Structure 1
Amino acid sequence: MKETQTPNIFKLATKELTQDAFFAWLLQWADQKYRGVNTNLNHTAQDFVRKLIGQTDTYAITTVEVGRQRQNIDVWAEINCEYFISIEDKTNTGRHSNQLARYKELVESEFGGKPHKLTFVYLKTGNESLSSLDLIKRQEGYTIIDRRTVLAILDARPVNNDIFNDFRSYLARLQELTDSCSNFEAVKTDESAAQGFYLNLQKLLPEWTDWNYVSNPTGGFWGFWYHWVQINDFKLYIQIENKIKVDLQVKIKIEGRAPNIDYLNQLCSQLGELASRYGLLIAKPKKFRLGNTSTLAIAVNALPSTTDEDLDMSRILTNLQNLQQVLDEYALISLPTNSNL
């Protein structure tokens, strides 16, 4: 018999403030005084603290003081009067307004002269571009704690607590949706799967890539972009656009205002000739537009799927690499100027 799915409060309360409250609650359970109340929950909470501060399993945790919104910091914790943890907690949003540097400066100013070891954590349970997370780690000096890391801790042992188990189930479902990214239909219809597809591409492509949601008057899309090449006064680059439940396309974009539509038309045709040598079919957009950034061409067959609707990642990578080669070759033959355009 199929197990009945019970109501989960975290499917209804999806705001970051709710998540702030859960992690503050979990940190409170790390205090040694709660070991006899719920041993497994106490052990799990202590594992979470050790992960945040980079300590081993042998580090003893005795006292934990926890709070929220201290100088606008989402969650903070003081461990054994030795560590101070500042947590910027995110679900589906990203950093903004120089907030990470500002919070770090405030904490360092407050604890200047005190013996505390300061730890700054960017805790992200939603999906985020690996390039963005890398910047947060390298430039901002924050430790990244992602959903997989949290789940590994929450799944380490059985815990008899409804709040805990509801949150664990909620995160597990988000991970399951993200991991469905091997299915073509899921990628086209579910935002988490679409993000998972982009995350996989970032791991497989050996150059800088980025992705995010792009809002525009036509409804917006999840975009993935990389591989800029210089063409005279312009740059060409590859962009994948996923309009959930509408369309999924690989495009060649042009950055820089073209002189006229005829220029775009001829440039698209020349790229099409090069692409055909690699088995890629290049089509013109429905309408060329003159602007700072516009669509130059569409690689129609760049995202193949197998007969069972699973994305063929091997062929997709080959097609993208071939498309990169097309741009690279065109950049070479267009130097120093493409006088016939």
Structure 2
Amino acid sequence: MEYGVFFYFSLRNDDMLNNPLLNNLFNYATSELSQDAFICWLLSFAAHEECDCSNLSLRSCAVELIKEFVPVLKDIDKSKIKVTDLKQQYMSVDVFAVVNETYGIIIDDKTDTKEHDNQLERYEVIIKDKFPNLQLYKVYYKTGFQSDYTEVKKDRIPDF
């Protein structure tokens, strides 16, 4: 039996290695908490305006992701973008980041589930109450596959 289980995972990993469309980090880390952790880890590289040479690429990647989440920052110099607060599982919000003490990013991430119960709208109300001075941006962050975006688009959340 152990051989069968081992073979199954070997075959699955080989399939992912040979087909870039199947290659998904969350085939290995399957929970939303793993995804939360990855998002927080990446965004944390934007918490410092300067970092050592080994982290420059990660800082650049984090800042580019922030620019996707907060379109008004698109034309701002990367060195001027800084994560000033970062929370995981904060008041039921998967990931909450504050950028430049002005913008709040509410991230609802999903792995094998889909949007339900107007979560982002509810999270926005909660965060707005705690941080009334922040300009809020909602992000529906989905890995894996989703065939129907009706609920997401109903909340007027842009996809990218």
Give the structure-1-normalised TM-score: 0.36
Query: Cα distance, 1:134 vs. partner?
Result: 4.4
Map of 2:96 onto structure 1? 76
Rate the CA distance shift 1:133–1:71 in 2: closer, same or farther, 3 A.
same
Q: Tell me which of 53, 65, 89 is aligned to 2:70.
A: 53
Q: Who is 2:128 aligned against?
A: 108
Would the alpha carbon gap of residues 56 and 98 (structure 1) be closer, same or farther in structure 2, given more than 3 Å must change? closer
* Partner in structure 2 of residue 310 of structure 1: none
Q: Please report how far the alpha carbon of residue 62 of structure 1 lies from its aligned counterpart in structure 2 after TM superposition.
A: 3.1
1:116-165 Cα distance to aligned partner (Å, 9 max, x none):
21101101112212xx424423x3132334xxxxxxxxxxxxxxxxxxxx
Find the counterpart in structure 2 of residue 142 from structure 1.
Answer: 157
Backbone CA RMSD of aligned residues: 2.4
Structure 1 residues 97 and 58, CA gap change in structure 2 (3 angstroms) = closer
Identity percentage of aligned residues: 34
Partner of 1:119 in structure 2? 137
Report the Cα distance in structure 2 between the residues aligned to 1:104 and 1:119, rounded to whole angstroms: 9
Match of 2:31 in 1: 15
Q: Bigger radius of gyration, 1 or 2?
A: 1
Higher relative contact order (Cα pairs below 8 Å, separated by 6+ residues):
2
Is 2:108 aligned against 1:85? no
What SS does structure 1 have at the residue aligned with 2:159? strand
Q: Does 1:38 align with 2:58?
A: no
* Superposed displacement of residue 34, structure 1: 4.9
Deviation, structure 1 residue 13: 2.1
> Which digits, 9 at most, give the CA deviation of each residue in 1:243-269, with x for residues without a partner?
xxxxxxxxxxxxxxxxxxxxxxxxxxx
Task: Give me the whole-angstrom Cα distance separating, in 1, the residues matched to 2:25 and 2:158.
Answer: 28
Q: What is the SS of the residue equivalent to 1:18? A: helix
Partner of 1:253: none
- Report the CA distance between 1:57 and its aligned residue: 4.4
Contact 2:36 2:95 in 1 (8 A): yes
Which of 113, 133, 143 in structure 1 is aligned with 2:149? Answer: 133
1: CA distance between counterparts of 2:32 and 2:106? 16
Q: Secondary structure of the residue that 2:149 maps to in structure 1? A: helix
Q: Which runs of 5+ in 2 are unaligned?
A: 1-13, 18-23
